[in-house]
Structure 1
Amino acid sequence: MLQCWERKVVQVTEPGHTVLEEKIILFLKKELLRLKQILSPDYQESNEMKSEEESDAREGVLQMALHFLCKMEHQDLADELNDNEMNVGCQKDLKRNLKNKYQSVFEGIAKQGSSVLLEKIYTDLYITEGESGKVNEEHEVRQIEYRSKKPAGQDRPIKCVDIFKPSSIHDKPIRRVLTKGVAGIGKTISVQKYVLDWAEGKDNQEINFILPLCFRELNIMKENEYSLMDVLHHFFPELKEFKFVCKKKYKVLFVLDGLDECRLQLDFQCNESLTDMRAVKSLDGILTNLIKGNLFPSALLWITSRPAAAGTIPAECVDLVTEVQGFNDSQKEEYFRKRISDERCAGKIISHIKSSRSLHIMCHIPVFCWIVAMVLQMIYSTGHKQIPKTLTEMYTYFLLFQTKQRSIKFDSVNDLDPQWNQKLILNLGRLAYQQLEKGNLIFYEEDLRECCLDVKEAAVYSGMCTQIFREESGIFLGTVFCFVHLSIQEYLAALYAFLMMANEGNDIISTQHAHQKAESMIILHKSSVDKALAHDDGRFDLFLRFLLGLSLESNQTLLHGLVSRRQGGFMDKIRTVLGLAGNDKTIKYIKDKIREAPSSEKMINLFHCLNELNDHSLVEQIQSFLSAGKLSKAKLSPGQWSALVFVLLTSDQNLDVFDLKKFIRSDEALLRLKPVVEESHTTLVDSCGLTEESCTTLASILCKESSKLRYLDFSGNHIGDAGVKKLCDGLQSPNCVLGTLRLQSCSITAEGCAALVSALSSNPSHLTELFLYSNKLGDSGVKQISTLLRNPDCKLDCLLGNCSIKAEGCAALVSALSSNPSSHLTWLSLWGNNLGDSGVQQIRALLSKPGCKLKIYYRTETV
């Protein structure tokens, strides 16, 4: 019986055994081929998902291969194969985890409502190559306002996906990139998209590992010591088995996001050098050595930062600076059409944003677009008649809707009137104001406790405060708080100052005391104006706009229930005064300050403050002059001059070319319009009756660190040698980028020519065209210019027509050009000079030399 059964089994299984043998051999061949490919230096893991059931079998083949390689005494190949196989497995786990982490986004406010897929709302951002990583202390809204005026095509755009790829501009590999941008502009979302595309196998697959680290999380670990490997294993536990033994073999990208949130010292000067990834040191020492390239020198590094903190990284530690400039005008529209499914509603929002210059500028910031979309969608859907046109109105509606949503979600109250939690809003406002004073944007639990804020309560009120909470691999990384955007922090700080005065009569800013309680709000306004003007970094600029905007009845109506309405109360007394005189006293005070404003940035912010108070008188006067074409003849007051500057700097008009002839032709006009000239690349002030005073004004513009002026036509102004000498103070500045200077008919003699030569000799590389036609330079002046042309760094082309030059001066020019074969000079105009036959002969001799590409014009002919 048993023998019969065994014969049947053999008969049945023999064909199956053959098939099994064939499948095993085929599988072995495929796996051995894969192992061979893994040993190749340019191997890339396939994105095709392999069957999980085969994982044990693949592990068995790997162990067999390792065993036989060791038996064959190829231990080096065995180690490399084992390391590469580990690389493939770890990379796959890392990509899977990063995909899960980054494929969704909580737009605007983390952990509020449901998340959306990044690919559904992502809109490309405008990223350019930045000028430097230096500190920018201007308020971020000022930077946005400047960017909105920048002529198209002036920057070199860069696609985020190509940020480390070589280009014709850079002659060396790019290893360390610093990306800067104002708060909410899209730096982190750009990082998220870059990492997600890599994790999904779409882009940059030549990179083996992308390791994103966030400074706000690293801050929690600053008190203890770690090795770089410890840090990586904390944040990426899937890499615990991978040792990075051969660092050069793997292309690794470290992303350090949010440098401005870093609370480490980052002492690049004093931290000792560190090269061992397993050496235990302070986190500060690890990061500085990673950035300097001592640790993991082959790794790529991408750091993101707000402009104010960009200078923390030494220039020698950065190969490329890029700048996220947010949405350009077309991208704004694209965002709203993606974000809002109702095309009609999206169109109405886009039209409304375009009608308000201040709102349109702020929409460069993606987070602000999110706020606008939320507010205007709600307004259009509920049929509100009042549409926000100012920043204060927009943020007041934002607070209103967030409060209503909180009431519906947590208190089950679906009432038309908001259920204000006055105590919580005051505490949030106190936190916002105190941290604004300190310049902090990231807060910790102790900061909240100081303001009587309960951590859980603040987290519940997530419309205005975000809680970032992470717990990975059993390591508690702590809780960090921040407002959604700096502007929301400034709004809440202003609301706190307003409510403290309106409800309690407490002035948190001014040290003055009003004679009458009803005048206290005006004193608060005036002291806030002074506070904003006193801070050069613009820290209280938006705060001031919001505080003044909140004094309007229209905004207080939206906040009813939050602003005390007790009859005979403090707010009633304030309202009595403000009702009788409006905000006239505040408006007059601001206009007085506009006349005294120390800078164009301060003046512009004060005009925005007038806009928040619904006073447009100065601007309307200037606009009427402009539309009537009377500006070149009008006599303007100091306030009207400031209004003209404001209109020009904030209008849609391209400021690339400034022509003084469109305005009043005078030294005063040029001085008053100096902020506009500073934004231009071409300045035309020819034949405007200007004097030495204007030379001083223009020299100060050329000396500015951010000087943009590349073309200056000063012709026809009889400034003489004294004026030229003052202008030379700017020409010799290392910040000067002027390429063309026209000084025809300016009454310049040899003395002025000597000053020009001296200035250009100290900074010879920038000026390429110098027009000195119809000046009495004489031979002595031309001899001075000849010394400049001998400089191999000089790139000058000269127009010296009608300059009283004779044969002696011509000889000096020819000698200089003959002695400097590397001269950049391509043409030289000597028309209208009495060169004589000897001068002409010298010119012909020079032009007949082999390889001479020079063109020289004399009389009316080309030689």
Structure 2
Amino acid sequence: MRRSCVPAPRSPTRSAKFWTWYRARARRCPSSSSTCSSDSQMLMWISGLGCRRRASPPQSSFRAKLSSTPTQRFTGTWLSSVPHPPVSRYTEKLRQQLGRDSKFVLCYAQKEELLLEETYTDTILELVGFRNESLGPLGSLACLLDHCTGVLSEQGETIFICGDAGVGKSMLLQRLQNLWATGLLDAEFKFFFHFRCRVFSCFKEGDTLCLRDLLFKHYCYPEQDPDEVFAFLLRFPQTALFTFDGLDELHSDFDLSSAPDTCSPWEPAHPLLLLANLLSGKLLKGAGKLLTARTGIEIPRQLLRKKVLLRGFAPSHLRAYTRKVFPDRAVRERLLAQLEANPNLCSLCAVPLFCWIIFRCFQHFGSVWDGSAQLPDCTVTLTDVFLLVTEVHLNRTQPTSLVQRNTRSQTETFRAGRSALRSLGQVAHWGMEKNLFVFGPEEVQAAEMQEEELQLGFLRAVPEQGLDGDRQSYEFFHLTLQAFFTAFFLVVDDKVSTQQLLSFFQECAPPGGAGAESCYPPFLPFQCLKGSGLAGEDPFKNKDHFQFTNLFLCGLLSKAKQKLLRHLVPAAALRRKRKVLWSHLLASLQAHLKNLPRVQSGGFSQVQAMPTFLWMLRCIYETQSEKVGRLAAKGICANYLKLTYCNACSADCSALSFVLHHLRRRLALDLDNNNLNDYGVRELQPCFSRLTVIRLSVNQITDSGVKVLYEELTKYRILTFLGLYNNQITDVGARYIARILDECKGLTHLKLGENKITSEGGKCLALAVKNSKSIFEIGMWGNRIGDEGAKAFAEALRNHPSLTNLSLAFNGISTEGGKSLAQALQCNTSLRIFWLTKNELNDEVAESLAEMLRVNQTLKHLWLIQNQITAKGIAQLADALQRNTGIMEICLNGNLIKPEEAKVFEDEKRIICF
């Protein structure tokens, strides 16, 4: 990955200015106006910063009693546990307030409240060191406050929790509040004070207040005996827990360097000074203090007790969150299957914020539970997801109140955020043009991006080593976000020309040349990939970021998005860009298919398409234009479309169906060795009425997907070939396949190897094979049908009119099953090839097979590789060949025979032992 490395001074955020001011204060020696000569002197002075106090007011009667009673000989821990009615009453009030405030969480869109208990899910917590090196996972929230786990400095006072936007920092603190309010957090804490750092930005330069006022007047006031409650807090600070959320949201330009040094709990000071002294331990030393901030924000090391990094959802967390959002098991499993098959959505779901947005998209568009055979009227596209991502982030900056929530429409939100979106788009486009994904402060400044726009959550800080030391750089939170904002810039910027609009399609085209010009229209977006490499072309170069930009460009210029975008860009410019894009896309698709090589095989005109073809279909699908889909279908002339090893996922099946359901002729579709899963099978439903050949081997398909195949394929009954090798099909799915075989009278090939079918499923399939008059080939390699299943297939073989090729290899078949098969073959004249490799067949079975060979003259190939046959059994087979002229080979490699024993059979060329 290339990075911008032009040296430039760091552009500090306002929270960074706060720490600059804090360090500057620390360097001022109390005995002199000169600064300390070394860091060690500075740190020594920080430890005593602000300890000069004015005369304290008289102690309360409660505190005086504590200091004069015999209980002084006991520890402070014991004293803190002694019942104190004023403290108990205040603790109960705090619990009620925090319980009420933490019960509900305002959703990211700020339009509704959700129950915390039904929403909160643990995320990955990782302990890190001063240099962000990993120190191992943090097991639970309880370990967060543990005095032994992950402590970096015993003198440090602050537990610092950092993480990217949307990983759940605020939710974690709210969960802690809720646990404390319900009595499930450490009982040592009698007080819990929660502040948002942005509140400290509300105070003016001349504002002052004391610690007592900050806690009581600006948080929760004790209704009785406030002096005694405050005295208890000062005497036992370890009974208090403070949480400060969002240091990165601290915006203050006030210069407090002239403020007098103070850390007295009674003396008024600026609130920022109170915050700094609370975090450093100059106030309420020993109290628990948790501070959160986004990645890239750092605090002085001398403040750190622990540092914890939030990394979002692990797969187990994602499943737990899915259970909460989608209680219905069937819906949940379908959703997870789609996420696992779509790496783009799945990687986004590692971030709780994005996960919530994606789940909300599914809920809104109803695509999770839509089981209809037709394309849904409202289909969620990747562009829809990212538009909602953008809307949510823009709305999070809006102020909220108790009585009014955000009611802005999506159009109003985008119109209000147009300047921020344009700046983000300019940075994203600049990086995409130069193949850069990390931006220095100079690029950010060139786009005239404001600090509040940096805080929206689309960019995250990346510490980068430059020529002048550390410098602050930025990257988009996800590569697809950069692609989205690049496309957004191309759409809304009036100065973008036609050539610029299509420039990233050109990035995916082959290098120019005489041949290229004759085969491709201008700015052709996709490589033909005929198999011969182009000189100078890097075959391993990843161009997905360009492809995603093109994808989002098609989505943003779709008809459905015009209502939103017409408030951001003139309608005439939108129409011009749409017309150019559609014409270009259709011409490119036709040229791509026209130049792919074709193979005539089995009555089919077969074309081997490439991954670039799928990207084309994704772009067409993103337009959601039936007209574009119909025109694209007309360009598909081949009747056998092969898309093996294309890394296709379930989302690609949606794109395939969007185009293929417009075909008016029958088609063979080969999708072997991809990542479709059951959801992908469902997405293919609209085009099943056209498919005579369906190959879905190695695609993580389960019984649920097989059920969909049964329901759809038996409607049309045109199927001739069904390939489901190496999936996750059990006996349940085998029963559905048997019914397909019963009802689809033209089915000739069935591939079911490497599944999880046992004797029960084998019996069902064998009965269907027995009744079929058309089946030509059955592949059952690598299941576990055993002897019972083998006996059922023996019955199917007896007098079967059409079955020619049968594989029962690696199925746990032993003596009884083998003998049954051999006996049945004496009555069979159709079978030509029989594979029994890797079973448990012995000499007794070999004897039965020898008897069969004396009768059956039509079997051509018999494979008995890797069984338990010895020289004795092979001798019987060799003897039978003296009366059999039809068999061409008997393969016996890997059986229990020594090389010297095999020499006896050298004259019989049809016996292959080694």
TM-score band, normalised by shorter chain: 0.3 to 0.5
TM-score of the pair, normalised by structure 2: 0.40
The normalised TM-score by structure 1 is 0.42
